[in-house]
Amino acid sequence: MGLAASRRMLARIVVVTAIGLAVSCGSDDPGPTIAVGAGDSMESNLLAQIYAGALARTGARTAVTADLGNRADYLAALDAGTVTVVGEHSGALLTFLNADAQARKPEVTTDADKSAPVRLSVTEELNRSLPEGLAVSDPADGTDMRARVLLTEAAGKDVRSIGALAPRCGELHAGVAPVPAVLQTVAPVRIAGCDFAGTTPYPDAAALRKALLDGEIQAGILTGPPELVPGATDGLTVLADKDYAVRTENVLAVYRKGLLDDRQIRKLNYVAGELTTDELAQMIRKVRDGAAAAEVARAWLDTHAL
């Protein structure tokens, strides 16, 4: 668990008794319904169910408004007040709102000699780029929803990271495959310092893997975490990206200011402190296999005492 998650856990322990008393002793009227929006992806709907379930446990009345469309559509619904909360990815949302944003990492960075200016984290630059009236929860720093760059195992013996591959990118042709369950940015995946000679789209991760193993392409780009597509990287090397050539992608909630109280905002932050890539992938796979998203979300909230 990271430092931010540890602090959130401590805060939850401190306030949980007070919250319980406030819910039990307060008015029986839960107030207006909090509408939690979801786009068309499986992940978006699952996140909506998690947030709606978590907020309901503060005593609020909640409802999920599903199938709102793509990023532009559900953000428009948020802006219009049709919904109050939506799930997002930090980096993709920043790219959507500010195409010129420079932040790539989840934390503030400085050069070793501290002579260069401090570089903002993605969350900080996102906060500066949000439209008036919107705010975001803490990012779930246990989630890593970034695109992954793949090589064959033979090619990956000498190249283990995107940084090491960067000088050769211009000589390579890459394939790109979507992970349909995941929130997607409309723009192509941006890999800093790595401009491939060309790219070819593939319908799914299995087709991308086959093309790599058959030598049709020299590199692959999977638009989400491999945990969502078991077997998709068998026989392949997933390149490390500690320098964030691909901008960080942490799950977070976007919400309208003034419509959630402090307890409810804290609850969103508690969700962020518990959610991980592995758990999110497991839940999405359950929904893909036919489980109801609301039931999967409820089980996860129970497991984490949220």
Token pair, residue 189, equals 């995946």
Token pair, residue 171, equals 């000589």
Helix 3-25, helix 262-274: angle, nearest 10: 140
Highest mean pLDDT of the ranges 26-40, 55-69, 171-185: 55-69
CA atoms within 13 A on the CB side of 207: 10
pLDDT of residue 116: 53
Flag the least confident range among 1-5, 62-66, 124-128, 273-277: 1-5
Dihedral sign (CA 209, 211, 215, 217):
negative
pLDDT of residue 147: 96
Answer whether residue 68 shows pLDDT above 60. Answer: yes
Facing residues of 198 across strands?
173
Answer whether residue 270 shows pLDDT above 70. Answer: yes
Flag the least confident range among 94-98, 115-119, 279-283: 115-119
Facing residues of 152 across strands?
236
Q: Once rounded to an integer, what is the mean pLDDT over residues 119-133?
A: 94
> d(Cα 291, Cα 151) in Å, to the nearest integer?
34
Residue 88: in which H helix or E strand, if any? strand 85-89
Flag the least confident range among 137-146, 155-164, 277-286: 155-164
Summary mean pLDDT of the chain: 89
Answer whether residue 58 shows pLDDT above 60. Answer: yes
Answer whether residue 162 shows pLDDT above 80. Answer: yes
